[in-house]
Amino acid sequence: MLACCPVDYALNDITPMRESKGLNWSGDLVADPSPWVRYTNDGIVFVDADKKTATDWAQLDILVPEVYCAACIGAIEANFKKLKSVKYARLNLTRKRLTIRWDEQLNSAKDMMVVLEWLGYHGQPFDRKSFDSNQSDKQLKHLLTALGVAGFAASNVMLFSVSVWAGADASTRVFFHWISALIALPALAFSGQTFFKSAFYALRAGRLNMDVPIALAVLLAVYVSVSETLSGGAHAYFDAAITLLFFLLAGRYLDMSMRQRARSAAEQLISMSATAATIILANGERQSIKLANINLGDKIFVAIGEKIPVDGQVIEGKSDIDRAFLTGESIPETTHIGETVHAGSINLTGSLTLKVTAIGQDTLLADIIRLMEEAERTDAKYVRLADRVAKLYAPAVHVLALVTLIGWLIYGLSFTPALFIATSVLIITCPCALGLAVPAVQVVASGILLRLGILLKDGIALEKLADVNMVIFDKTGTLTLGRPVLVNQAQISDQHIKQAASLAVNSKHPLSQAIVRTATERGLTFVTNDTITEEVGKGLKGLDDKGRVVLLGKQDYVAPEIKPTLNYNAEFYLSVAGQSPISFIFEDSLRPDAKLTIDKFRNAGLEVAILSGDRQLVVENIADQLQIDNWQANCSPQDKLNHVNGYQKLGKKVFVVGDGSNDAPALAAAYVSMSPGSATDISQLSADLIFQSQSLLSTYKVWQISKFSRGLIKQNIGLAIGYNMFAVPIAILGFATPFVAAIAMSTSSMIVTLNALRLRLKEKSL
């Protein structure tokens, strides 16, 4: 659910924490608040403590993925600053990072996490140093500085160039050329570093990249311009050289800032997947430890609502286990003593004690991760459109300039003027518009995606998505909401719903919660009382207001004498004072726009299929509703992977949408993949795109945007090359003056940028 500024997260839903360097960080689960902090309904009350003199401020960096708007910033920063101990609290919305500096004598790092949880945000502390983004931060800053310097130099040099073009001559022109040189040379030396370095490395490795013609053009332009200036000649290319760098740096900056945004999204996901577990020591004491320190045979305690951290055998307790993320099954299963539960499933209704049977690399979850990694390795390398063009373009440009030079030499021109003409060819053909053509479109596109609540983890995905011709959906949690809904409502009276709800409200079982939701939807008021008890794995029992015994739960608990309507667990019975039981049938309901999305894809000529780990009957029902013929049920993660690979071997380009851990290998193997924001960590990790909104239609929208931006990129490349077709003959024939170069370069760059902005118009029609 896309909830801006969440405030009602259950406190038992707390993300375990990882150790953070330089802090006395216990790694404990947040269970009991510190003596300094107390929570009330009105806000946080901070118990006074004598302030000792702080020698140093402790600092904690926390990733908070759920912040979206000004109210989030306000809520978090203002509340942290209410704390006596906190000196500095700042939330970076772009990176979704919160930095807090505070006095450690007063509050511990744990307290800070408790406060954040209390405010309704999930956070994950991280070690600033362990993130490599600092490195790219510096690069980005350097690019921006270079861009600023190039912009300053370009505008000032242009001032003198315009004067020269306007007719300044003789000593004035020489004087202006000298000033231009004085401004342009240091600026070129500073701003051009990125290109010079990259060209140098490419040449040393024996390759040609787009930066080689750029560096060569700039260097040659400087050479001919300086020699023109020295000899008092008419043409200097200082303005062209520096403007060229300015446009190219702008393209480079846009490209890099987009990649960094994608990377920080991926980093967030990686850091969120760290977990801890509660171990039961020999003396019965419970202690929270890191997953890495758990051994086989250890006793582990799993509280209600927690994710099971390891594979283990149940030695105490009984509970309903939600295995949807592992298997795709929508209805939880009851686990008894002696049975094995797997890491990644969620413990719903009762606390469990497990004996660890598999850890780390041996768990079922780790098997899936291995499959996923393997699928990722074999995923064919995709060469970006821009790189493919550059591969052809760079050699062509060099050959053209060289041929021009040799041609003019043969024609009888001396070396310096011939070199001048060859240089003008290089400058005119310089991939200025080409360098802007792709990043400009991608930046506009990723901005639109962000507004739609779609995170792009990799810019390439947007390019690849335009190619897909088949869409495969997972069922549970993707086509469906992943939560059961009462389907035989019409047959159940308000009275019975009311009675069922007053029991069900005491349980965390998803079927019980579905009953409560139904009651609320019907606008019924129901009362509950303290006679109600839950028998884990069976159902609920209690007295109603007239003192009659009411039972709600599974058939064998409520009415062992009858035959169940369904042959699987998605059914509850209600029995009041021994009267004949009433059946409640549940189903995982479709997302409201699932049908629309499927139809749109189908009308666009894409093939649609379902791969699910759920039972035949359930999947068939969903496939019928959506009119999809191509579906598979009972798929293991390996099966899903095989199916996806099979389709791809047939030459299909598959777009996989899934949310469970069981989808992760298929997501990784797919040509492009997407996960909802509610998905498990590892499936989000392996997907290329993540949509935060409740709407499945995002999958179709992102495909449309991708198609349209692919079209724009092609148009832009076409425009850039087309402009060369006109300009190059002029340059080869020696008619290109610096004035012509400046006009041609600027107009082509402007045209591709404006063309990229057409994507915004498309956004409105979505």
Any idea which residues carry the catalytic annotation?
474
Helix/strand/coil (H/E/C) assignment for every residue in 487-505: CCHHHCCHHHHHHHHHHHC
Region of 79-87, 334-342, 523-531, 683-691 interacting with other proteins (CB under 8 A): 79-87
| 74 binding other proteins? (CB under 8 A) | yes
Region of 155-163, 380-388, 399-407, 691-699 interacting with other proteins (CB under 8 A): 155-163
Task: Judge contact between 352 and 341, C-beta under 8 A.
Answer: yes
Task: Judge contact between 353 and 314, C-beta under 8 A.
Answer: yes
Residue from 149, 262, 371, 687 in contact with other proteins (CB under 8 A): 149
| 527 binding other proteins? (CB under 8 A) | no
| 678 binding other proteins? (CB under 8 A) | no
Structure tokens at 601: 């894809």
To 5 degrees, how large is the angle CA 328–CA 334–CA 340? 80
| 721 binding other proteins? (CB under 8 A) | no
- Is 341 exposed, middle or buried (CB count within 10 Å of its CB: 0-12, 13-18, 19+)? buried
- What is the DSSP pairing of strand 571-576 with strand 582-590? antiparallel
Residue from 19, 27, 33, 81 in contact with other proteins (CB under 8 A): 81
Closer residue to other proteins (CB): 87 or 498 = 87
Nearest distance in Å: CB 148, other proteins: 4
Number of residues that bind other proteins (CB under 8 A): 31
Region of 144-152, 377-385, 628-636, 687-695 interacting with other proteins (CB under 8 A): 144-152
| 183 binding other proteins? (CB under 8 A) | yes
Give me the phi and psi of 132, to 5 degrees please.
Answer: -80, 0
Residue from 40, 41, 55, 70 in contact with other proteins (CB under 8 A): 70
| 357 binding other proteins? (CB under 8 A) | no
Residue from 30, 63, 86, 500 in contact with other proteins (CB under 8 A): 86
| 2 binding other proteins? (CB under 8 A) | no
| 591 binding other proteins? (CB under 8 A) | no
Closer residue to other proteins (CB): 53 or 94 = 94
Sheet holding 631-632, edge to edge: 454-456, 689-691, 672-676, 654-657, 470-473, 607-611, 631-632
Nearest distance in Å: CB 750, other proteins: 22
| 148 binding other proteins? (CB under 8 A) | yes
| 88 binding other proteins? (CB under 8 A) | yes
Phi-psi region of 360 (alpha: psi -120 to 50; beta: other; left: phi over 0): left
| 390 binding other proteins? (CB under 8 A) | no
- What is the DSSP pairing of strand 607-611 with strand 470-473? parallel
Structure tokens at 294: 């758990």
Residue from 89, 184, 215, 696 in contact with other proteins (CB under 8 A): 89
Task: Judge contact between 593 and 611, C-beta under 8 A.
Answer: no
Task: Judge contact between 692 and 454, C-beta under 8 A.
Answer: yes
Residues 6+ apart with CB under 8 A from 710: 385, 463, 466
CA distance 449 to 233: 52
Closer residue to other proteins (CB): 80 or 708 = 80
| 280 binding other proteins? (CB under 8 A) | no
| 263 binding other proteins? (CB under 8 A) | no
To 5 degrees, how large is the angle CA 624–CA 629–CA 632? 90
Nearest distance in Å: CB 433, other proteins: 25
| 49 binding other proteins? (CB under 8 A) | no
Phi-psi region of 352 (alpha: psi -120 to 50; beta: other; left: phi over 0): beta
| 44 binding other proteins? (CB under 8 A) | no
Q: Name residue 540's amino acid.
A: L
Nearest distance in Å: CB 144, other proteins: 6
| 31 binding other proteins? (CB under 8 A) | no
Closest by CA to 657, choosing from 636, 684, 632, is 684
Partners of 575 in beta bridges = 551
Q: Name residue 648's amino acid.
A: Q
Nearest distance in Å: CB 181, other proteins: 14
Helix/strand/coil (H/E/C) assignment for every residue in 585-619: EEEEEECCCHHHHHHHHHHCCCEEEEECCCCHHHH
Closer residue to other proteins (CB): 129 or 522 = 129
Instruction: Give me the 158-177 binding string for other proteins, x by CB under 8 A, dash otherwise.
Output: -x------------x-----
Task: Judge contact between 245 and 192, C-beta under 8 A.
Answer: yes
Structure tokens at 327: 């298997």
Residue from 2, 18, 44, 82 in contact with other proteins (CB under 8 A): 82
Nearest distance in Å: CB 112, other proteins: 14
Region of 35-43, 143-151, 312-320, 745-753 interacting with other proteins (CB under 8 A): 143-151
| 496 binding other proteins? (CB under 8 A) | no
Give me the phi and psi of 707, to 5 degrees please.
Answer: -60, -45
Closer residue to other proteins (CB): 137 or 362 = 137
Residue from 162, 179, 203, 487 in contact with other proteins (CB under 8 A): 179
Nearest distance in Å: CB 83, other proteins: 8
| 144 binding other proteins? (CB under 8 A) | yes
Closer residue to other proteins (CB): 86 or 598 = 86
DSSP string, 144-167: HHHHHHHHHHHHHHHHHHHHHHHT
Closer residue to other proteins (CB): 183 or 418 = 183
Instruction: Give me the 102-141 binding string for other proteins, x by CB under 8 A, dash otherwise.
Output: ---------------------------------------x
Closer residue to other proteins (CB): 78 or 527 = 78
Structure tokens at 274: 């760290």
CA distance 364 to 56: 45
| 396 binding other proteins? (CB under 8 A) | no
Region of 77-85, 295-303, 323-331, 716-724 interacting with other proteins (CB under 8 A): 77-85
Closer residue to other proteins (CB): 82 or 483 = 82
Closer residue to other proteins (CB): 88 or 200 = 88
Partners of 101 in beta bridges = 59, 88
Nearest distance in Å: CB 5, other proteins: 12
| 276 binding other proteins? (CB under 8 A) | no
Give me the phi and psi of 594, to 5 degrees please.
Answer: -60, -45
Sheet holding 549-553, edge to edge: 480-486, 582-590, 571-576, 549-553, 539-543, 533-535
Partners of 546 in beta bridges = none
| 186 binding other proteins? (CB under 8 A) | no
**Site of interaction with other proteins (CB under 8 A):** 69-70, 73-74, 78, 80-84, 86-89, 91-95, 141, 144-145, 148-149, 152, 155-156, 159, 172, 179, 183
